[in-house]
Structure formats: C-alpha cells, structure tokens
C-alpha cells in the first residue's frame, strides 16, 4: 500500500507528536506544529493518536493514491480536492485507488494534516517518526517530500477496515465517500484569523521596561515572512530591557517568546533548539499552540496574559474534550442505525 508524491508543494514532511527524551543530547523535539489536528486526524482513521501523518504547508501538494485508503484531513483549509470535488475535512474519507488529491488555495490556516489509516511504514529514529530536517533524520529519509517519492503505508487497523468496507459500499461508482458526520466545530481550538494567544509571563519578564511589559500584552504583532517551523519572528513594538543584561543559556521550549537585542520577539515552535540565551518575556500556553501553528506570515497576533494555573486548567479541559471525541467516534461506529452514515461526493 502506498501513495505517490506527484508534487510536494511548499513544504510537506512526515510528523508525529515529537521526539522526546533526547533534548539533553541537544536533539530537538520536532513533531506536528498543530498537535490537535494531528491527533484528531488519527482518531478519525482508527490510528493511535500519535501516529505520524503528513504535515502539508500552505500550497501546492498533489498526491496519488495507489490503493483504497481511509484518510482524514484536519487543520487549516487548503482547499483539498479530488478531480475537482471538494474533500470535506475533520471526518473519515475513503479515497479509491488511482485518485489524485490536490491542495489548492489557502482558505484558512497555514498547514493541514493528512492521516492515513495504518500510518506510514517508515522507521522510528530515537522513538519517533518526526522529520528533523537539519540533522537529516526521521520522517521520509530525513527530508521533506520530493516529486516521485513513494510513501509506503502500513495495513489499516481492524477498526479502520470496518470503516473502509462501509464507506466502500456507500461509494458505489464514486471515487470518494465520506462519513456524513464530522468533528464538531465546538471542540476545535479557536482557529481564527489574527488570533489572541494566551500566554504566561516568561522567566525574565521583569527584566523588561514597564512599558515593554505592557506593550507585549496590549499591542498587535505581525508574523514576518522569516517565520518557519523553528519559530515565528514577530514585528511590532520594539521590546526593551530596562538595563543591558546577559542571560546564561538555558532550556527553551515550544511557545517560548524570546527577545533578542533588536527588540522583535521570536516565538519558538516545533523545530526550536533545545537551549537559548535570549531573555524570555512570555511563554505561550500549551493549549493555544495549535492556534498559533495555523497563523501564517502576514497575519497578526495579540497576546493575552493568563496565570499558570489557568493555563494548566485549560489544557485539562482540552483533554477532557478529546476523551469525549474518542467516545463519540466509537459510538458512531456501533450505532444500531448502521453506524457509519456516508455521503457520496459527486
């Protein structure tokens, strides 16, 4: 079982939930920028939540399916189509052999996750399938996808086999069939254009001038084109230390907002380095990292201060929603009404 890359698009990489436990050796975490979308996509195709999926950035990817495969597309909306038919997101979709899935214009967000039932048949390096581009390890031969690559797919789980057979019956002569239910928008993170991102104070918050501290939580920042998976470089109010001070390099993590001497903050993300030496004015709440991951260059963000306890409570609530989602998907499966209701896409 496999899919073939007809066109890789801007940046397409294999990512799972990241490579943990190796930061003490300087090995970065990597992983999906929007872990929420990745986890949901996997649940929908009957995979374990942390299975690797394709992270497709912005524009232009085109993939050929060489078997009947159950997929789910979650995250931003990059106009996925098959033969001109729009493919709905946030639900399981059966794609038949020979179909070509194309991503077009960016309608919302910045990156999308394509999970395939079974997951990709690629080796784990240091217990993760995530691509670490700089070191050339993990993912598909340690690199982003290129034209002509063939990605092998493992056999689907029993759960996925049942979904595939049900959707296959429904599809008839159509190339694609999707479940008629989808994940409720109510459980999504608040994906919006120019979002407000919640953050707690950073370790060196008090090093900054009172004005800069205020500006950080009040003003708008532009996400510049120099942003990538390593971090978002922001531009707006120049943030200043109240006196020149040097920080001794220490650990940084996803969502760390550090401020180099130029005064423009950088939010570190999935491919961040393990340690950094710039003062940290804030730390994005983990619960809001998926929202930030869907912000693209040219968009704007604002930060809203919350307390550490609140950040942890929000994360707990998100996890409860996840458990409900998993149960909900299971119920759909076993419903006496025949379980999987399907719509054909014509």
The Cα–Cα gap between 221 and 114 comes to: 30
Tokens 């079974």 belong to residue: 118
Whichever of 178 and 292 has its CB closer to other proteins, that residue is 292
Quote the least distance from Cβ 312 to other proteins, whole Å: 5
Strands 342-344 and 280-284, how do they pair? unpaired
State yes or no: residue 131 binds other proteins (CB under 8 A). no
The structure tokens listed for 267 are 């939010």
Per CB under 8 A, the list member of 141, 182, 253, 339 interacting with other proteins is: 253
CB 213: neighbour CB atoms within 10 A? Answer: 19
Per CB under 8 A, the list member of 105, 107, 309, 346 interacting with other proteins is: 309
The Cα–Cα gap between 5 and 143 comes to: 14
The Cα–Cα gap between 72 and 115 comes to: 5
State yes or no: residue 319 binds other proteins (CB under 8 A). yes
Residues 25-54 close enough to bind other proteins by CB under 8 A = 25-28
Quote the least distance from Cβ 74 to other proteins, whole Å: 21
How does 14-52 read in b/e, with b if 16+ C-beta sit within 10 Å?
bbbbbbeebbeeebbbbbbbbbbbbbbbbbbbbbebbbb
Per CB under 8 A, the list member of 190, 251, 324, 331 interacting with other proteins is: 251
* 173 DSSP assignment: T
Per CB under 8 A, the list member of 260, 286, 297, 328 interacting with other proteins is: 286
From the number of C-beta atoms within 10 Å of its C-beta (0-12, 13-18, 19+), residue 204 rates as middle
Per CB under 8 A, the list member of 13, 42, 144, 283 interacting with other proteins is: 283
Give me the 212-241 binding string for other proteins, x by CB under 8 A, dash otherwise. ------------------------------
Of the candidate spans 91-99, 143-151, 277-285, 294-302, the one that interacts with other proteins by CB under 8 A turns out to be 277-285
Per CB under 8 A, the list member of 48, 83, 134, 226 interacting with other proteins is: 134
Quote the least distance from Cβ 136 to other proteins, whole Å: 8
State yes or no: residue 324 binds other proteins (CB under 8 A). no
Of the candidate spans 175-183, 220-228, 229-237, 279-287, the one that interacts with other proteins by CB under 8 A turns out to be 279-287
State yes or no: residue 200 binds other proteins (CB under 8 A). yes
The Cα–Cα gap between 178 and 333 comes to: 14
Of the candidate spans 152-160, 174-182, 252-260, 292-300, the one that interacts with other proteins by CB under 8 A turns out to be 252-260
Residues 89-128 close enough to bind other proteins by CB under 8 A = 125-126
Give CA separation, 134 vs 122, 151, 165, in Å: 19, 21, 41
Of the candidate spans 65-73, 210-218, 291-299, 315-323, the one that interacts with other proteins by CB under 8 A turns out to be 315-323
Task: Give the residue from 139, 150, 110 showing the smallest Cα distance to 290.
Answer: 110
Per CB under 8 A, the list member of 104, 203, 297, 328 interacting with other proteins is: 203
Of the candidate spans 6-14, 47-55, 99-107, 311-319, the one that interacts with other proteins by CB under 8 A turns out to be 311-319
- Biggest CA–CA distance in the chain, Å, is 71
Quote the least distance from Cβ 195 to other proteins, whole Å: 18
Size of the site for other proteins (CB under 8 A): 40
Whichever of 12 and 283 has its CB closer to other proteins, that residue is 283
Q: What are the helix (H) ranges across the chain?
A: 35-44, 158-171, 210-218, 289-293, 308-334
How does 136-165 read in b/e, with b if 16+ C-beta sit within 10 Å?
ebbbbebebbeeebebebeebbebbebbbe
Give the interface with other proteins as residue ranges (CB under 8 A): 20-28, 125-126, 134-137, 200, 203, 248-253, 255-256, 273-275, 280, 283-286, 308-309, 311-312, 315-316, 319
């Amino acid at each position: 079982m496999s899919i073939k890359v007809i066109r890789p698009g801007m940046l397409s990489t294999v990512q799972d939930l990241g490579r943990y436990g190796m930061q003490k050796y300087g090995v970065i975490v990597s992983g999906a920028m929007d872990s929420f979308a990745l986890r949901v996509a996997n649940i929908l195709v009957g995979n374990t939540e942390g299975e690797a999926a394709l992270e497709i950035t912005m524009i232009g990817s085109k993939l050929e399916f060489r078997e009947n495969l159950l997929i789910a597309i979650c995250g931003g909306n990059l106009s996925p189509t098959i033969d001109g038919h729009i493919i709905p997101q946030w639900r399981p979709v059966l794609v038949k052999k020979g179909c070509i899935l194309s991503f077009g214009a960016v309608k919302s967000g910045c990156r999308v996750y394509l999970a395939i039932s079974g997951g990709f048949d690629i080796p784990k390096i240091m217990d993760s399938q995530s691509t670490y581009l700089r070191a050339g390890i993990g993912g598909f031969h340690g690199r982003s996808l290129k034209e002509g690559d063939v990605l092998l797919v493992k056999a689907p789980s029993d759960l996925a086999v049942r979904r595939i057979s049900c959707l296959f019956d429904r599809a008839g002569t159509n190339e694609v069939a999707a479940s008629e239910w989808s994940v409720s928008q109510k459980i999504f993170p608040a994906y919006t254009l120019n979002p407000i991102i919640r953050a707690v104070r950073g370790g060196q918050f008090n090093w900054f001038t009172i004005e800069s501290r205020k500006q950080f939580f009040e003003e708008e920042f532009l996400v510049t084109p120099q942003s990538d998976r390593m971090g978002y470089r922001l531009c707006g109010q120049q943030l200043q230390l109240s006196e020149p001070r040097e920080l001794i390099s220490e650990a940084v993590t996803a969502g760390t907002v550090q401020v180099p001497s130029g005064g423009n903050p950088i939010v570190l993300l999935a491919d961040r380095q393990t340690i950094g030496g710039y003062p940290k004015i804030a730390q994005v709440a983990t619960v809001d990292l998926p929202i930030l991951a869907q912000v693209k260059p040219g968009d704007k963000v604002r930060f809203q201060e919350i307390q550490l306890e609140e950040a942890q409570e929000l994360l707990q609530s998100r996890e409860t929603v996840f458990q409900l989602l998993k149960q909900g998907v299971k119920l759909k499966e076993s419903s006496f009404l025949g379980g999987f209701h399907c719509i054909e896409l014509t």
